[in-house]
Amino acid sequence: MTNLALLKTVFLDSDHAIFTDDEYGAFLTLEGLTPTDEAAEDITNVMLAKAALLEAIAGNPEKYKKYSQGSVDEDYDKRFLFEMAQSIRRRYQELS
């Protein structure tokens, strides 16, 4: 499984409802990963990319609307998305 496929799996957006592959790739690149490389056992940087994606959704009305309209079953408010992102960062930055 590639880094890109893993990120889309942990983000629950395999149908590209929220981000395109290029957008996911940009977030992976910011975390030092190549989207097409095989994913490593250590998923720290993928999870940090997920945290950045959550922050991007919370800060972008269009992305937030797409996120809250069916890519996930839960109904999250923006504050909760930021808190979830921070929780992911705390957990995975301690591991790195």
What is the per-residue pLDDT across 59-75, written as a single tens digit (0 to 9) for each?
888 888 877 765 454 55
pTM summary value: 0.84
Instruction: Please report which confidence band the pLDDT of residue 94 belongs to, taking 50, 70 and 90 as the band edges.
Output: confident
pLDDT of residue 73: 47
The percent of residues above 70 in pLDDT, for the chain, comes to 90
Alpha carbon distance 46, 32 (integer Å): 10
> Taking a C-beta distance cutoff of 8 angstroms, is the pair 1, 43 a contact?
no
> Taking a C-beta distance cutoff of 8 angstroms, is the pair 88, 55 a contact?
no
Provide Rg for the chain, Cα atoms.
13
In angstroms, the Cα distances linking 91 to 3, 18, 22, 88, 94 are 19, 25, 26, 5, 6
pLDDT of residue 66: 78
Can you read off the two tokens belonging to residue 79? 């504050």
> Taking a C-beta distance cutoff of 8 angstroms, is the pair 50, 3 a contact?
no
What is the per-residue pLDDT across 31-61, written as a single tens digit (0 to 9) for each?
999 999 999 999 999 999 999 999 999 888 8
For residues 80-91, average pLDDT: 92
